[in-house]
Structure 1
Amino acid sequence: MRVLVATEETQGDRADDYTWATPGELVMFGVICATDLRGTGRGCGCGRAFAGLHSERATTTAQVAEWPSSLDDVVLAFRDSLARGGWLDFGGTEEEVHAVVVEAVMEVLLVADRYPAGTVIGTDRGRQYVRQPAAAR
């Protein structure tokens, strides 16, 4: 299965790039603040970020990667990260909590499935774009 992982490839190609995530860690799409959603250009940059599951740090670049683990392992990694961040403490039932986790996982898997492994992508307020195509084999 293809997932998105943090990468330093293409970092610095854009003046507004940043990376604090650990290269190779799973990433997800983060929450976007209201200022970034408005697109005024004066936001914090969260609208261009992927969130690292382990480091809990952000990056503007992610790479599509073949992931050797099972879907259950990916769901568990997302659940752990979301729980550590307090995102699952909304008083929902176990089914509702599970649905939040699965939605976050599926969002990443659906995007990763659009591109060949090795493709470096960026994101901008929910729209993804290719920063570097996968190398030819």
Structure 2
Amino acid sequence: MKLLTATREGQGDRGGDFCFAVEGELVFAGFVCATDRRDPAGGCGCGRAFSGLSSRKATTTALVRDLDLSYDDVRLALTDHFVTTGMGPDVIGALEFDDLLDQEVEQTIRYAEVWQPGAVVGRRLDSVHLRAPAVR
């Protein structure tokens, strides 16, 4: 399955780039604060970054990789992330948690599926864009 992973590739090509995530870890779009919703180019950077599922740190570039992971693997990784960050079902409620998880798993898969493995992508709010095509 194609998924997005943290990368340092393309870092510095644009002003405001950063990569604090661990190279190669799975990333997802994450939540956006009100400041970045108003202006994703300013604020804290969450409106233009992906969040690392393990490190809980962010990067403005992600690499598309074809990984030997299933839908259930992605769901489990996101579940672990949300529980360890205090967003588990015991905190937000079981139904809300299941809804959140369903949305984030689908979005995480959808954001990677249109790009070729090896492509470097960036983010602006709820969209993902190509920063560098896959090298063939």
After TM superposition, the score normalised by the length of structure 2 is 0.92
Matched, 1:2 2:10: no
Consecutive unaligned residues in structure 2, runs of 5 or more: none
| Closer/same/farther in 2, CA of residues 82 and 40 from structure 1, 3 Å limit | closer
Q: Tell me how many residue pairs correspond in the alignment.
A: 135
Identical-pair percentage? 42
Alignment of 1:23-102 (within 5 A): 23-39=23-39, 41-88=41-88, 89-93=90-94, 95-102=95-102
Classify the secondary structure of the residue corresponding to 1:22: coil
Cα contact 2:41–2:47 (8 A) shared by 1: no
Q: Hey, what's the Cα distance between the residues in 1 that align with 2:57 and 2:41?
A: 21
Matched, 1:108 2:112: no
* 2:28 partner amino acid: M
Q: Hey, what's the Cα distance between the residues in 1 that align with 2:77 and 2:115?
A: 22
1:96 to partner: Cα distance: 3.7
Q: Hey, what's the Cα distance between the residues in 1 that align with 2:134 and 2:103?
A: 26
* 2:119 partner amino acid: T
Consecutive unaligned residues in structure 1, runs of 5 or more: none
| Closer/same/farther in 2, CA of residues 86 and 40 from structure 1, 3 Å limit | closer
Q: Hey, what's the Cα distance between the residues in 1 that align with 2:107 and 2:91?
A: 20
CA shift digits 1:25-78 (9 cap, x unpaired)? 000111111111111744111100100000000000011111102221111011
* 1:133 partner amino acid: P
Q: Hey, what's the Cα distance between the residues in 2 that align with 1:71 and 1:63?
A: 19
Classify the secondary structure of the residue corresponding to 2:123: strand
| Closer/same/farther in 2, CA of residues 71 and 42 from structure 1, 3 Å limit | closer
